[in-house]
Amino acid sequence: MPAFIETQFPIARLSAEAYKERKANNGQTLTRLGKWWGRKPLVLVRAAILGMLMPASNNPKKDREIFLRILTMDDDGTWQRCKGEIPAAAWREAAAPEIQDEYFGARGFKQGMTDEEKEEVCAQIWEALSAVQQQQLDALRRRPINDLATFDALPYAERITHCDRPENITGPSATAWTEINAHLGTAATSLAELVKQLGSALSVTRRAWAIASAAVVPFAVRARNEKSDFQAVIERALGIACDYLVPRGLDNSWRDLSLAERYYLRALDIESRGERRKGMYEELARGFGVTDIRPLLKSDKANGARMFTPSSLEASLLAPIGGAETNAAALPSRRGRAGAAGTHPFAASPLRHLMFAVRETAAADHSPEPGRQYLRDTFGQGYWTQREPDNCWPDNCWL
């Protein structure tokens, strides 16, 4: 039996709740508990765990309704979370006589009580009420929007601006728990109990599913160096990303470049747009299959990353390219321009050598001859005779 998260997930409502939680800054529950660099929105973590534990039925619509009810993200739940205070007089009327005498005066709470003491008294009164009495008391709450129909007509993201966050309330109402338990076959009255009961049922179900699967599907052993289906999908996605993340002006030549060359040009493209976060360059490198970007970064500060340019690279990170091994001995002998010991894939790419030719041209007061000569020595004379006429530069160009 698949889990709920394998069949559907209410992304729109969860995104709105996660955004609201993130905007709370120091008011976030996890922030108050302790500092952790990789923390995620609590509502998202809670939803993911619940989605993995909750089984999916043959009624997807009902599954979604129950899932939202558990998280108090349904219509009744958001109304329950809608901010607003219950008047002190209403609390006094709902309290037992002994609580009235001890904590209340003629107009409300007795003077001198702190907010924490008032909250404890209200919680004590609330727990002593039946479900019907709780509903009647909640109806007296002074909400910013008093009409339920008007509240439900609002878009969800606007509706929750008037609500407490899901983790700030005790959970679904008693009426909601009745419907939740009827659908899931549980007997929970709190989220903790529900997670425990779903987890126990899941372990039995998964064990039975594993035994049944083992009886039907034989264990397959891959041959050495054989790729799994998952690896094939990842590599296919990688290829698509590399083919379509094309900087402006490189449409015609993009597919002829290596992955390292594509990464470098794409990194320069996002740097020109003001991107300075090192993490973005690392994520981009993973997308292009480049495992080491340190030789390409002039600055590797967390929020100040920058790529090397032709002038800043100078003669570093150079290695003979394919088809030019016969000229490899010439590299280190030419005023220490390059060495054959480069191990990074970008060092042996035509783009890297073209960048060095640009640097040589700039260093010679923009005379094209040093750059031309370097490219002749690096690529060999055959390269110049094989160039397509459309790709040739005018005589007055630096090449």
Consecutive sets of 10 residues in the chain, 399 residues long: mean pLDDT of each? 88 90 70 59 88 92 95 92 86 90 87 86 88 84 85 90 86 91 93 88 58 44 65 67 74 84 90 88 84 90 89 82 46 39 77 87 84 81 54 40
Q: How far apart are CA 3 and CA 156, in angstroms?
A: 26
The answer to whether residues 179 and 69 touch, using CB atoms and an 8 Å cutoff, is yes
Q: How far apart are CA 145 and CA 345, in angstroms?
A: 63
DSSP 55: B
Q: How far apart are CA 54 and CA 94, in angstroms?
A: 37
Return the residue matching tokens 């878009």.
Answer: 155
Return the residue matching tokens 């040739």.
Answer: 392
Residue 44 burial (C-beta neighbours within 10 Å; 0-12, 13-18, 19+) = middle
Sign of torsion over alpha carbons 347, 350, 356, 358: negative
Question: Given this model, what pLDDT does residue 255 score?
Answer: 81
Question: Given this model, what pLDDT does residue 25 score?
Answer: 67
Question: Given this model, what pLDDT does residue 184 score?
Answer: 93
Q: How far apart are CA 323 and CA 147, in angstroms?
A: 78
> How far does CA 14 lie from the centroid of its chain?
13
Sign of torsion over alpha carbons 174, 175, 176, 180: positive
Maximum distance among all alpha carbons in the chain? 103
Adjacent-strand bridge partners of 3: 55
Residue 178: partners with Cβ closer than 8 Å, 6 or more residues away: none
The one-letter amino acid code at 74 reads D
Tell me which residue of 82, 117, 85 sits closest to 103, measured CA to CA.
Answer: 117
Q: How far apart are CA 174 and CA 134, in angstroms?
A: 10
**Structural domain boundaries of the chain?**
4-84+143-197, 222-308, 311-399
User: Phi/psi at 299 (nearest 5 deg)?
Assistant: -135, 130
Question: Given this model, what pLDDT does residue 219 score?
Answer: 41
Residue 126 burial (C-beta neighbours within 10 Å; 0-12, 13-18, 19+) = middle
Which H or E run contains 297?
strand 297-299
Stated pTM of the model: 0.47
Length in residues, the chain: 399
Six-digit token pair at 143? 């909400």
Residue 289: partners with Cβ closer than 8 Å, 6 or more residues away: 238, 242, 259
